[in-house]
Amino acid sequence: MLNGAGSRPLLQVDLGRIRANYAAIVAETRAEVAAVVKDDAYGLGLSAVSRSLYEAGCRSFFVADLSEAVALRKILPDGSIYLFNPTSFAQMSIYIEHRLIPVCNRLDQARGWVAVAGDLPLAIEVETGLHRFGLNYPDLRHLKQMIRRRPDLLISHLASADHPDAQINQLQRNRFLAAIELLRPERASLIASTGLGLPQSFHFDLVRAGSLLYGLKSGRQDRVIQSVVRLTAKIINVQSVAKGEGVGYAAAFRTQRSSLIALVAIGYSHGLPFACANRLTIGLGVDRAPLVGRIAMDYVAADITDLPRNRNWLGEMVDLIHVDQTVEDIAQASHASPQELLLRFGNQTRRIYRDERRSAQTT
């Protein structure tokens, strides 16, 4: 018997907790805290998340590209908006109209921006050891000869910020200091979320907060950063299965007793990784039940034999992300990154926002 087989899983995003996480990060640093809201705010919704962070006092935002920057400016009338990946300044009027700041990460980009931007803000990314984007020191010397003013912002990115004792952290800081000495920027930014545990000397003027805002603790053990998402899906079928029967494709799970198996309407099409088969649980209140068998495109099975029998489980909404199973736990079980999973869940489920200041809204 099926009930609501076409219903999609629901991702609840707690905007109040995002604001609380922002306040917790602000309390950990003397620097300004900017919000990284690239890729639709890690899949949680650019508009709702950015508005909420602006209410919390955030005034600097980083996005992935020009389209996101334009969309964000339409949401926020003021504040600084930085583009990590500018591609072309051919449509200079767009940058001027929306007051956008590209983070130039190649010498040709910096040369192009200086040629057309006049006195508009100039942001430069420096290569210090990550070897992804950024001007190296010879590039910076060329840039120094090209411009007569100080850059408004100089940034770089640590390769091993989640390992505080890694020698490369100090090496990258030293290289960043050399770039600062050469260009004398108005402000400098070296660390993102994972760098908050490093000494204040790494924080400089601006911290770029991303993962921590969205409840991804990056190995932190404290309880200051709160989980901001809850993933739920509906039980759409319940079957009694005899001992020794296989469940799902290839009989990847075989019952060891007479069992009650529930079919839950979530699968890898909704972002649940195929690789975490037989490794996760569902939650309903204080009760837990293991997911069993392979994860299908739209469904997964759960062994609810040990759950109370005095209720009708059909149609119940169960938690895939709960107090005992975080996004990071699912990531570890599937050998994925938690950021990747947030993007998957955010893009492939229905989103609903919880905010004590307003009524809930679904996207």
Q: Which pLDDT tens digit goes with each residue over 213-241?
A: 999 987 676 778 999 999 999 999 999 99
Q: Which is catalytic among the residues 95, 214, 249, 268?
A: 249
* Model confidence at 42: pLDDT above 90: yes
Gyration radius (Cα) of the chain, Å:
24
Asked whether the beta carbons of 44 and 229 are under 8 A apart, the reply is: yes
Considering the candidates 22, 38, 42, 268, report the single residue annotated as catalytic.
Answer: 38
In whole angstroms, give the CA distance from residue 312 to residue 236: 11
CA atoms within 13 A on the CB side of 334: 24
Question: Token pair of 277, please?
Answer: 């088969």
C-alpha 81: how far from chain center: 18
> What are φ and ψ of residue 124, in 5° steps?
-130, 135
User: Which tens digits make up the pLDDT trace of 46-78?
Assistant: 999 999 999 999 999 999 999 999 999 999 999
Average pLDDT over residues 189-204: 96
**Cβ 232 vs Cβ 12: under 8 Å:** yes
36 neighbors 209 (Cβ within 8 angstroms) = yes
**Is the pLDDT at 281 greater than 90, yes or no?**
yes
Evaluate if pTM is beyond 0.85.
yes
* Residue 288 predicted with pLDDT over 70: yes
Please give the pLDDT value at position 348. Answer: 95
What pLDDT is attached to residue 48?
Answer: 97
pLDDT above 70: residue 361: no
> Does position 4 have pLDDT exceeding 80, yes or no?
no
On average, the pLDDT of the chain sits at: 93
Q: Is the pLDDT assigned to residue 2 strictly greater than 70?
A: no
State the average pLDDT over residues 343-363: 83
Q: What is the pLDDT of residue 221?
A: 67
Evaluate if residue 360 carries a pLDDT over 60. Answer: no
Mean pLDDT value across residues 275-300 = 95
| CB 158 within 8 Å of CB 134 | no
Residue 3 above 50 pLDDT? no
Residue 249 a catalytic site member: yes
